[in-house]
């Protein structure tokens, strides 16, 4: 996979986020994911043992890092700036497989889970922790950074390439959520998931992607070659793998490559 990293910049805005780390190979990514999951569990366990402080963090009455964040900071030598309210909001043991996801040589640390974690701490602490594990790190964060994906692949034949181009143009035209329940890669994804109504509805929302052909985006079909420029996923940690699996396993595409463009957002 080809991945281009754009330098990130500090921001005072914090909300839903995804931290993405790229590793040399699958084994390195798996080991890194375990380190990050252990850190998530450590902080969550501390909050469970300190309900009074947990409530202060949830209510926004304590923004300074607690001993939970400071312990991870000391252990890995990374900075921490505030209490992680999005982890404090958990009422039980967090599903670390949802918060820290793996796909090939990528790991995703995200609040965009089916439980919709909320808070204003943003990616702080975990962005620097992932940077300790790999140099290839970038962030998508609400009101701060937008992450666009450009994907290329080769279809089995020219007719299939044209069809895929038409499908992608139809189902990525903004606003994509208006027809997401019919989107082929979402339908393909749901075939392999448990029949849980709440998670089905969340998947239909999170797996959508838009390409704004009036702005950054473009869909190009040349012979068997397909280019999807400027994919904007609602949740990149689930949406990108779902699209790739549909293209490769359902449509028979090969030679998959993708690049990421991180854009700093101007918030007024």
Cα–Cα distance measured from residue 127 to residue 21, given in angstroms and rounded to the nearest whole number: 9
Last residue of a domain, one of 141, 167, 196: 141
Q: Check residues 258 and 134 and name the one with the higher pLDDT.
A: 134
Structure-block tokens of residue 184 = 């082929």
- Residue 231 pairs with which residues in a beta bridge? 149
The answer on pLDDT for 194 being more than 90 is no
Q: Are residues 157 and 259 in the same domain?
A: yes
What pLDDT sits at residue 220? Answer: 95
Is residue 163 within 8 A of residue 250, CB to CB? The reply is no
Question: Distance between CA atoms of 168 and 185, rounded to whole angstroms?
Answer: 10
CB atoms within 10 A of CB 193: 10
Per the domain annotation, does 6 fall within a domain?
no
> In which domain, by residue range, is 58 found?
17-141
**Residues 195 and 136 reside in one and the same domain:** no
Structure tokens at 43: 């902080």
DSSP state letter for 25: S
Phi, psi of 239 (to 5 degrees): -70, -45
In a domain, 29, yes or no: yes
**Strands 145-154, 254-264: parallel, antiparallel or unpaired by DSSP?**
antiparallel
Do the domain assignments include residue 72?
A: yes
Residues 119 and 178 in one domain: no
The predicted pLDDT at position 193 comes to 77
Q: What is the pLDDT of residues 118-171, one digit of tens each?
A: 889 999 999 999 999 998 898 998 888 888 999 999 999 999 999 999 999 999
Mean per-residue pLDDT for 84-105?
A: 85
Q: Tokens for 73, please give them.
A: 């900071």
Q: Answer with the one of 89, 115, 141 that is the final residue of a domain.
A: 141
User: Distances in Å between the alpha carbon of 178 and those of 42, 215, 218?
Assistant: 40, 20, 20
- 2 within a domain of the structure (yes/no): no
For residue 44, tell me if it sits in a domain: yes
Q: Which CATH number characterizes residue 224's domain?
A: 3.30.70
Q: Are 171 and 106 found together in one domain?
A: no
pTM: 0.84
The answer to whether residues 132 and 177 belong to one domain is no
Q: Mean per-residue pLDDT for 19-23?
A: 93
CA distance 176 to 170: 9
The reply to whether 108 falls in a domain is yes
82 and 56 both lie in a single domain: yes
Assess contact for 259 and 150: CB atoms under 8 A.
yes
User: Range with the lowest mean pLDDT among 6-15, 177-186, 242-251?
Assistant: 6-15
Co-location of 258 and 156 in the same domain: yes
Residue 10 binned pLDDT confidence (cut-offs 50, 70, 90): very low
Mean pLDDT rounded to a whole number for the chain: 87
Q: What is the number of structural domains in the chain?
A: 2
The fraction of the chain above a pLDDT of 70, given in percent, is: 87
Task: State whether 72 and 26 are in the same domain.
Answer: yes
> Where is the domain boundary, 107, 141, 175?
141
- Banded pLDDT at 56 (limits 50, 70, 90): very high
Please tell me whether residues 165 and 236 are part of one structural domain. yes
CB–CB of 229/220 below 8 Å? yes
Across 15-23, average pLDDT: 90
For the segment 249-256, the average pLDDT, to the nearest whole number, is 97
């Amino acid at each position: 996979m080809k991945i281009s990293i754009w330098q990130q910049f500090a921001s005072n805005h914090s909300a839903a986020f995804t931290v993405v780390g790229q590793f040399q190979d699958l084994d390195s990514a798996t080991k890194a994911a375990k380190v990050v999951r252990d850190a998530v569990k450590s902080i969550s366990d501390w909050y469970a043992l300190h309900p009074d402080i947990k409530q202060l963090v949830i209510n926004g009455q304590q923004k300074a890092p607690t001993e939970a964040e400071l312990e991870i900071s000391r252990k890995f030598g990374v900075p921490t700036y505030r209490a992680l309210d999005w982890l404090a909001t958990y009422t039980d043991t967090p599903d670390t497989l949802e918060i820290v996801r793996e796909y090939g040589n990528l790991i995703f640390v995200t609040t965009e889970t089916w439980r919709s974690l909320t808070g204003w701490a943003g990616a702080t602490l975990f962005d620097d922790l992932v940077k300790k594990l790999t140099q290839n790190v970038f962030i998508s964060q609400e009101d701060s950074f937008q992450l666009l994906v450009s994907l290329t692949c080769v279809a089995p034949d020219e007719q299939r390439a044209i069809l895929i181009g038409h499908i992608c143009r139809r189902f990525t035209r903004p606003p994509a959520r208006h027809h997401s329940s019919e989107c082929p890669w979402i339908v393909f994804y749901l075939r392999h998931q448990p029949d849980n109504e709440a998670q089905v509805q969340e998947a239909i929302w999170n797996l959508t992607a838009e390409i704004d052909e009036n702005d950054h985006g473009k869909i190009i079909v040349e012979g068997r070659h397909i280019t999807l420029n400027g994919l904007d996923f609602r949740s990149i940690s689930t949406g990108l793998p779902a699209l790739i699996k549909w293209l490769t396993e359902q449509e028979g595409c090969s030679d998959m490559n993708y690049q990421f463009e991180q854009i700093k957002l101007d918030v007024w």
